[in-house]
Structure 1
Amino acid sequence: MGIFDRFKDHARSKGKDMSDTAERGVNEKTGNKYTGQVDDAQQRIEGTTGLKGDRPDRPDRPDQR
């Protein structure tokens, strides 16, 4: 594992921690009234940004055809 792989793993871990903290904060502010919607939004954001870990790494540049 190279230094960039470790950096990427660390950044992904920090991003996930921040996402979880934000979810808890929103749920506290709303009195857990919108827990389902907040969780759905968090899952979508994590999927889009690659924080879930199930998204394959995208190439740096799109294919030029």
Structure 2
Amino acid sequence: MSDFMNKAKNLADQHDKQVDQGLEKAGDTADRRTGGKYDEQIDKGVDMAQRRTGEGDQSPR
């Protein structure tokens, strides 16, 4: 399983901008579907996920 996770992390690192955009889009969709009821929690989750995938860092490690 760790080989799969390493490959996924490398892929996410190589395509950081697209990953961040996808997370934003998913958060926006969740906000719309819940009528904004969980806006703060969703935003917090998106921010945490972006930090874990290297938000803004588009160079491979």
Pick one of 39, 44, 52 that aligns with 2:43: 39
Aligned counterparts of 1:25 and 1:44: Cα–Cα separation in 2 = 17
SS in 1 for 2:37: coil
4+ runs of 1 displaced by more than 2 Å? none
> How does the TM-score come out when normalised to structure 1?
0.62
SS in 1 for 2:35: coil
Which protein has the larger Cα radius of gyration, Structure 1 or Structure 2?
1
User: Which consecutive unaligned segments of at least 5 residues does structure 2 have?
Assistant: 1-13
Whole-Å separation in 1 of the counterparts to 2:53 and 2:17: 12
Gaps of 5+ in 1: 1-7, 59-65
Query: CA-atom RMSD, angstroms?
Result: 2.1
Q: 2:38 and 2:44 mapped to 1: Cα distance?
A: 10
Query: Which is richer in helix?
Result: 2
Report the residue type matching 1:37 in the other structure. Q
Higher relative contact order (CA closer than 8 Å, sequence separation 6+) = 2
Identity of aligned residues (%): 26
User: Size of the alignment, in residue pairs?
Assistant: 47
